[in-house]
A and B are shown apart, each in its own frame.
Chain A
Amino acid sequence: MCVLCGVLWTEDHWSEAGAEEIPDEPDGTVVMEIHMARRGQRLRDRARRARMASTALRAWGITLQDWEGSCYIVRDRKGNSAVVPDLAQVWEAAEDMLGAPLDPLDPNLLAALRRGA
């Protein structure tokens, strides 16, 4: 839990792993510079992850936003929103807003992605 805002940190989902590892010092210690570098990397990763999910959901006008590094907010154009802990939970929230299932193999979704690419 964050002692300042009282937000519970969720268990890390596999998709929260970074593309790159910032290693410990050779003797195994973690100095403040490393801690801060990891924190910055984590926040940049979460922002990028949210942007990628918003890109995938662009055809439906649904967006994802990181909230203080602790959860994500799913929003649609009607003003609905949902708080989810990780990417795995995004799709159910988005389906609830859409009232329809989301399928990454759907040819219409793939065509929409290509049009936007």
Chain B
Amino acid sequence: MGLVTPGFGLIFWTTLSFLIVLFLLRKMAWGPILKSLKEREDSIEGALQSAEKAKEEMEKLQSSNEALLREARDERDLLLKEARATKDAIVGEAKLKAKEEADRIISEARTAIENEKMAAITELKAEVANISLDIAEKLLRKELSGDAGQQELVDNMLSKVKLN
């Protein structure tokens, strides 16, 4: 029976010492131990999270880098295209202008030639008239130096005149 009869002294000492142990260990051991364990776990958790974040950021950076590169390439292409267009436009305009200029010069030249030609013709005509008059004068002088000649002329002219 003694085996299952709790002794008063042992109950007293167990209660007292367990309470003291619980109180002291809570204050001096469990508190600091659990706190440091939690802190360590938190710091590991934090480190893992920040590593994950860094990885994500790296990826983001990489993708943004790529985007930037792509953008740069696109812009370069655009610039090239624009430059080409500008060049084409300039060249086209220049050609057009040159053609216009050429046309103008040609037409001006043509006009000038025409004018010159007309002037030359007019002059030639006047000269021809003068020469003809001279010839005619000389011919007349020669022809009309005799009476026969003068008569013939008059006859001739009269024959052409129609009297109606």
Asked if A pairs with B, the answer is: no
Using a CB–CB cutoff of 8 Å, the interface residues on chain A facing chain B are none
Using a CB–CB cutoff of 8 Å, the interface residues on chain B facing chain A are none
